[in-house]
Amino acid sequence: MLYYLFEYLEGELNIPGAGLFQYITFRSGVAIILSLIISILIGKRIVRSLKKLQIGESVRDLGLEGQLAKEGTPTMGGLIIILSIMLPVLLMCKLDNIYIQLMILATLWMAIIGFIDDYIKIFKGNKAGLKGKFKVAGQVILGLVIALVMLYHQDIVIRMDYDQAVEEGYEIVSVQNQLQDDGAFIKTANVKSTMTNVPFFKDNNFDYKMLLGFLGKNAGKWVWIVFIPMMIIVISAVSNGANLTDGIDGLATGTSAIIGATLGIMAYVSGNTIIADYLNIFYIPDTAELVVFSAAFIGACVGFLWYNSFPATVFMGDTGSLALGSIIAVLSILLRKELLIPILCGIFMVETISVILQVSYFKYTKKRSGVGKRMFLMAPLHHHYQKKGIHESKIVTRFWIVGILLAVIAIITLKIR
């Protein structure tokens, strides 16, 4: 909203300084500051309100040190994160940008599903919360919408050499002349494509229609058969991974902030023609606006740590964790970096795999010998380390360090081929 106001002030009234709002870097800086301030200021009020409403966590005794002391700690604190993201985004972003519209949809959609889950747990006294099939349905619907918009919306394109676009049969949306470093112009085209980035490979590109190569020239028409399920899998996996990681104070929040910062960098390079050309990755028009969203996301996560760091005075609940996961997943998809998720979201992935291995191994050994055995002392993985007597603050810090390492690796894959 402020973007349009200052655009008017600069264009019509020629007010000095109003042009600052045209710069992505300035609006991103303001967004992260606003989200931090909002989360800290409204967080105290929300925590107080949650306590008055007696919206507290019911803790089951799992034999973890300090666990029972968390009984009654307010939950549904994800509301702080959602508000701290949405307000700066509405103020700082270009709201007619399709990428921003999809991020707003993803944030609110999964936040509502998480809120319903928390509401059932707290007010209905059902510790199981929302049935799993409804959560999965929500993730499937979101994945379906994101995939269909990416496939058919005319504003979601990538830029490539015109001759290459014609040769490979891509749908050309627009054509332009792009200035090169040597002063010459080359003809480029904005095309509809299901192309994505692949880490460590020479050309760094992969098109989902290659999986249907046996269909020949008709592969592009039927690419939705593989593209839609892939988007659903990515969103479901990351959303559930974030949910599982939200088990000790500050872990999911800090990890999400690290991932958000990495995706913000990728949004900047993908939305800048010069940097994208230097890194030999395809330029994605209009994605630079996602830098502003990422900044608000980082600020909201860091601001929430004011209350969620050990010892937490509020938990985010599924309202926050499901939303955080969906935001990260959809950001990755829109930036065509979803194949980087195993590296970038390595913490979420390991937490999820630890649960799968624990359950599978227990069932296997029980069926084989009649006595179920466990691979870990407890799953998800962070509880395994708690059982080993490591303080949760140290576990969180070490997981953050690993998260930073994975983030750096994800960034350098842009250049390592």
Instruction: Kindly state whether residues 299 and 405 are assigned to the same domain.
Output: yes
Residue 417 lies in a domain: no
Instruction: Kindly state whether residues 225 and 251 are assigned to the same domain.
Output: yes
**Confidence (pTM):** 0.93
Instruction: Kindly state whether residues 26 and 123 are assigned to the same domain.
Output: yes
Which of 192, 212, 245 lies at the terminal end of a domain, its last residue?
192
Kind of pairing, strands 205-207 and 185-192?
unpaired
Instruction: Kindly state whether residues 112 and 177 are assigned to the same domain.
Output: no
d(C-alpha 55, C-alpha 163), whole Å: 60
Residue 12 has pLDDT above 70, yes or no: no
Instruction: Kindly state whether residues 356 and 282 are assigned to the same domain.
Output: yes
Number of domains in the chain: 2
Instruction: Kindly state whether residues 37 and 144 are assigned to the same domain.
Output: yes
CB distance 19 to 10 below 8 Å? yes
pLDDT attached to residue 408: 95
Residue 68 has pLDDT above 80, yes or no: no
What would the pLDDT profile of 216-263 be if each residue is shown by its tens digit?
Answer: 888 888 999 999 999 999 999 999 999 999 989 999 999 999 999 999
pLDDT attached to residue 61: 52
d(C-alpha 366, C-alpha 412), whole Å: 44
Residue 139 has pLDDT above 60, yes or no: yes
Residue 15 has pLDDT above 90, yes or no: no
d(C-alpha 19, C-alpha 16), whole Å: 7
Instruction: Kindly state whether residues 143 and 168 are assigned to the same domain.
Output: no
Work out the mean pLDDT of the chain and round it to a whole number: 89
d(C-alpha 279, C-alpha 408), whole Å: 16
Residue 82 has pLDDT above 90, yes or no: yes
> In 12-131, where does DSSP find H-type helix?
24-52, 78-92, 98-123
What would the pLDDT profile of 329-387 be if each residue is shown by its tens digit?
Answer: 999 999 999 999 999 999 999 999 999 999 999 999 998 888 889 999 998 999 999 99
d(C-alpha 304, C-alpha 312), whole Å: 10
Residue 58 has pLDDT above 60, yes or no: no
Residue 202 has pLDDT above 80, yes or no: no
Give first-to-last CA distance, the chain, whole Å. Answer: 41
Domain that holds residue 170: 158-192
Instruction: Kindly state whether residues 106 and 162 are assigned to the same domain.
Output: no
Instruction: Kindly state whether residues 235 and 169 are assigned to the same domain.
Output: no
Instruction: Kindly state whether residues 274 and 177 are assigned to the same domain.
Output: no
Query: Which residue, chain included where needed, has tokens 């994101």?
Result: 146
| Angle of helix 290-308 versus helix 24-52 axis, rounded to 10 | 30
Residue 86 lies in a domain: yes
What 8-state DSSP symbol labels residue 280? T
- Partner residues linked to 190 by β-bridges: 159, 174
- Partner residues linked to 187 by β-bridges: 177
What 8-state DSSP symbol labels residue 208? G
pLDDT attached to residue 22: 82
pLDDT attached to residue 20: 76
Instruction: Kindly state whether residues 132 and 163 are assigned to the same domain.
Output: no
**278 Cβ contact partners less than 8 Å away, ≥ 6 residues apart:** none
Residue 21 has pLDDT above 80, yes or no: no
pLDDT attached to residue 63: 59
pLDDT attached to residue 53: 77
